[in-house]
Amino acid sequence: MTFLQPKIRLVLATDLKDILEISRHVWEGYDYLPFVIEAWLKDSNCYTYATEVNGHVVGIGNMRLVEKGRTGWLEGLRIHPNYRGKGLARAITEHIIKQSQRLHVERLRYTTGSENQASLKLAEKTGFVRILEMGVFWHPNPNDVPLPRNYPPIEISSPEKIFELTQETPELNSHGILIYDWKALDNTLEGFVQVGKSNEFYISLRKGKLDSYSFGRLRSESKESMWGFTIYANQNDGFISHLSHQITLASRNQQKAIMCIYETKFEKALHDVEWQSKEHWDMHLVLVEKTMP
């Protein structure tokens, strides 16, 4: 294996052509990067780095400061297929780690798919450890899904109210981390308010206590939009109730696909739903973290 010594620098607006060429090879052309890269370059909380070889950008990675700068969120790591296997992903990750120390970041985090062995090996080599796993599934045509009974009943809620309710039921989210849109924030009032800027919250009560909750939104950072949502619940019926509710919302918003993030303890309950499409696809999301010295 040949390792390169690339030039690593901040991304410039003039690099967009090279970046779009990299993105063209990701997820069969359905990469979200083209829809967010310009916003990253304008965001003072984003530090977007490029790996340059022979005058061209062949890799990119972004660190976004969240939680008042305590956390550096890593996203968008991409290497052009002609330059993979040459140590560039590790080089840009290690560069971001060094920059995060300069910015006094307390920890770095990112999510990846359980089947992405290259990403998981990179995490291990650069000092990240696994924090949690969540289930993820995609399904086309939510109108084709038979909806189970909606119990316990669901009502809309605010980030402030739901945070207050979760303090009385910490077992609902034992990890203390909110997972949304393949991102993560601590289960704090600040975290709920941040998620609430782009998502609507829904809750179910049982005997006056929070039984389950979910939040979702229209995800449009790709060629085709979809309805994305996360569910936390105590019991199977609460999980299924929120699943039904979010699928109904997707149908009302005329979405052709859904993506759900959920706790792995509900995998059996999910698979018991009579999905009518062979295109249903599921996997695990892995959150990794590196505590900075």
- In this predicted model, what pLDDT tens digit does every residue of 238-258 receive, in sequence order? 999 999 999 999 998 999 899
Which one-letter DSSP state was computed for residue 93? H
Contact 216, 222 (CB under 8 A): no
Does 36 map to a domain?
A: yes
| pLDDT at residue 146 is higher than 80 | no
pLDDT band for position 267 (50/70/90)? very high
26 and 142 belong to one structural domain: no
Does 118 map to a domain?
A: no
User: What percent of the chain lies above the pLDDT cut of 70?
Assistant: 95
235 and 274 belong to one structural domain: yes
Q: Residue 224 belongs to what domain range?
A: 135-288
Does 124 map to a domain?
A: no
- Does residue 148 have a cis bond before it (omega within 30 degrees)? no
172 and 267 belong to one structural domain: yes
For residue 250, give both structure tokens: 């997707």
Does 254 map to a domain?
A: yes
94 and 150 belong to one structural domain: no
Which one-letter DSSP state was computed for residue 168? H
186 and 265 belong to one structural domain: yes
Chain segment 100-120, per-residue pLDDT in tens: 999 999 999 999 999 999 999
45 and 139 belong to one structural domain: no
Does 34 map to a domain?
A: yes
The DSSP element (H or E) to which 162 belongs, if any, is: helix 159-168
Based on its alpha-carbon atoms, the radius of gyration of the chain, rounded to whole angstroms, reads 20
Does 114 map to a domain?
A: no
Please state which of the ranges 75-84, 123-132, 187-196, 274-283 shows the lowest mean pLDDT: 274-283
CATH number for the domain including 161? 3.40.630.30
Does 127 map to a domain?
A: no
207 and 100 belong to one structural domain: no
Of the residues 65, 86, 105, the one at which a domain ends: 105
195 and 144 belong to one structural domain: yes
pTM, full prediction = 0.92
283 and 150 belong to one structural domain: yes
| pLDDT at residue 23 is higher than 60 | yes
Q: Which residues of 215-237 are buried (b: 16+ CB within 10 A; e: fewer)?
A: bbbebeebeeebbbbbbbbbeeb
141 and 242 belong to one structural domain: yes
Structure confidence at residue 271 (pLDDT):
86
152 and 251 belong to one structural domain: yes
79 and 220 belong to one structural domain: no
Total structural domains in the chain? 2
pLDDT band for position 141 (50/70/90)? confident
Average pLDDT over the chain, rounded to an integer: 92
| pLDDT at residue 147 is higher than 80 | no
Average pLDDT over residues 224-249: 93
For residue 197, give both structure tokens: 């800027």
Instruction: Please say whether the dihedral angle defined by the alpha carbons of residues 254, 257, 262 and 264, taken in this order, is positive or negative.
Output: positive
pLDDT band for position 152 (50/70/90)? confident
Residues with Cβ within 8 Å of residue 281, at least 6 apart in sequence: 137, 138, 139
Give the best-scoring range by mean pLDDT among 145-149, 159-163, 276-280. Answer: 159-163
Residue predicted with more confidence, 232 or 175: 232
Structure confidence at residue 2 (pLDDT):
58
Does 281 map to a domain?
A: yes
